[in-house]
Amino acid sequence: MRISIIGLGLIGGSMAIDLKKRGFANHIIGVDSNNLHAHTALHIGLVDEIGMLENAIEKTDLVILAIPANETIRLLPKILDLVKAQIVIDTCSIKGNICERVKYHKNRSNYVATHPMAGTENSGPWSALSGLFDGKAVIFCDTEESKPEYLVQVRKMYDFLNMRPLFMNAFNHDVHAAYVSHISHISSFALALTVLDKEKNEKNIFDLASGGFDSTVRLAKSAADMWTPVFEHNSDNIISVLDTYIEKLNEFKDAIENNNSIQINDLIQKANRIKKIV
Amino acid sequence: MRISIIGLGLIGGSMAIDLKKRGFANHIIGVDSNNLHAHTALHIGLVDEIGMLENAIEKTDLVILAIPANETIRLLPKILDLVKAQIVIDTCSIKGNICERVKYHKNRSNYVATHPMAGTENSGPWSALSGLFDGKAVIFCDTEESKPEYLVQVRKMYDFLNMRPLFMNAFNHDVHAAYVSHISHISSFALALTVLDKEKNEKNIFDLASGGFDSTVRLAKSAADMWTPVFEHNSDNIISVLDTYIEKLNEFKDAIENNNSIQINDLIQKANRIKKIV
């Protein structure tokens, strides 16, 4: 299959590697508005050629959008204007506003809404990794809106990436993504801000950071351009989870302030239940 | 050197493995009030024999306390009552209240206060790992209170564990530990509580959990018996960091509620500065 990948960052680049290596794609055209990213992707062999958007779509069978949510919302309708028999997918961490944006587009059925739940805190084509998606979940949304034969092709593509398919509507996707992914990022960004604020001497952080801190603060290295539009486009769900999160932190604070070791112990033991799940 | 290790969990067990393997210890006596832990530690070869506290101290040159903070505060004075030429160290994540407790003990100078900043979310002798401490920081506190020749021995021991020594007073230790370690654990416990509360269907969490969620929630698996006394004995510092953390979360919440993408982007970019440090 001939594939266009729009956005040659961590996600687009990692898909390029494994779709080519595992034989799903035989030719990949990369498109990126950032020239450095485009040329790097070509230079390190992620893509076979670099093209302009219209030309790339015309020459390929499947178009993968791997760009931030706000750009996806802007670009997806334009791409659907251009398609004939091409399949179009996106990879964003929010689905509601994207599906809403193209709901009445004449070529809506060429589009399959997907969210491959994989990533690292790094970005750019130099961060692309083989195996990034292996064993992770991919969520398909509102599949009744897509042509069944296109859905079959996209499922096959994610099979080549060894992903576990899950199906839900865009609304439910955004609720769950807020709980399981978006709040983790905010908790980590806020942790980094706290430590940077409190520890004026950065050398102390460097010297003292242990594996535990590294692990909780890892996501705070994630790109602002990617995450800002996610928080904007899933604001209601995120605010609701943030409220609960702040509530739980206040429960800890109260227990610690009152020197109530039974309550602290109880909160920790309840949190420990996560062990059985992940 | 002959060593007693009091507490055969993750920390005590991991020390036992590498101190023996790397030739610092030639005989290790394990002491644990939990019979299952004691027998497991002997059975899997972490220690050479299991003993009772008094007898173990009598027969060894160095006594390592690797038990929770509250038990350390209770047991350390009793151990110092028993020592003659033995060196005693602890491994707790809080230092102020421990050093305070034995400040005027006649054998205070036998004691070296240390905090090896390493660990995992697991506990018990079966979690012990070779290499756990390699390259991590160990903090020595109030070293002027310890006999210089004992300090030399303890530094040598941590050299065998490949740890980077740092020196500060117990008060400063507790301030930094709150920023860099304790708050990470609370942020993670609260995240687990939030997700468990919001996602009534645990299968969803299991299905959807990505690497990012795993990473931020990992510390929420940590043992309540270990962390409850840490939060109790470092409460003032932790409350202060928690206040800042909740403040930062509220900044995110306000920016998201007001759909202020410039502010969201700015907060994330500030948080990204952590990249240069850890």
Q: What is the pLDDT of residues B191-214, one digit of tens each?
A: 999 999 887 777 878 788 877 888
Contacts of B253 in chain A (CB under 8 A): 239, 242-243, 246
Q: Chain B window 144-173: which residues touch A at a Cβ cutoff of 8 Å?
A: 164, 166
- Beta carbons of A268 and B194 less than 8 Å apart: no
Question: Quick check: A200 pLDDT over 80?
Answer: no
* Distance in angstroms (rounded) separating the CA atoms of residues B31 and B8: 7
Question: Quick check: A221 pLDDT over 80?
Answer: yes
Q: How far is A17 from chain B (nearest CA, A)?
A: 20
**Residue-level pLDDT at A219:** 93
Q: What is the pLDDT of residues A61-109, one digit of tens each?
A: 999 999 999 999 999 999 999 999 999 999 999 999 999 999 999 999 9
- Beta carbons of B137 and A208 less than 8 Å apart: yes
**Residue-level pLDDT at B205:** 80
* Distance in angstroms (rounded) separating the CA atoms of residues A129 and A44: 12
What domains sit in chain B, N to C, each tagged with a CATH number?
2-168 (3.40.50.720), 173-276 (1.10.3660.10)
Interface contacts (A, B; CB < 8 Å): 319
A115 touches chain B (CB under 8 A): no
* CA Rg value for chain B: 21
Greater pLDDT, B203 or A3:
A3
Q: Could you tell me which chain A residue has the CA closest to the CA of B164? A: A207
Block residue for tokens 């493995």: B17
- Beta carbons of B232 and A139 less than 8 Å apart: no
- ipTM for the predicted complex: 0.93
Q: What is the pLDDT of residues A203-218, one digit of tens each?
A: 778 788 877 888 889 9
Q: What is the mean pLDDT of chain B?
A: 95
Contact (CB, 8 A) for B161 and B12: no
- Beta carbons of A241 and B194 less than 8 Å apart: yes
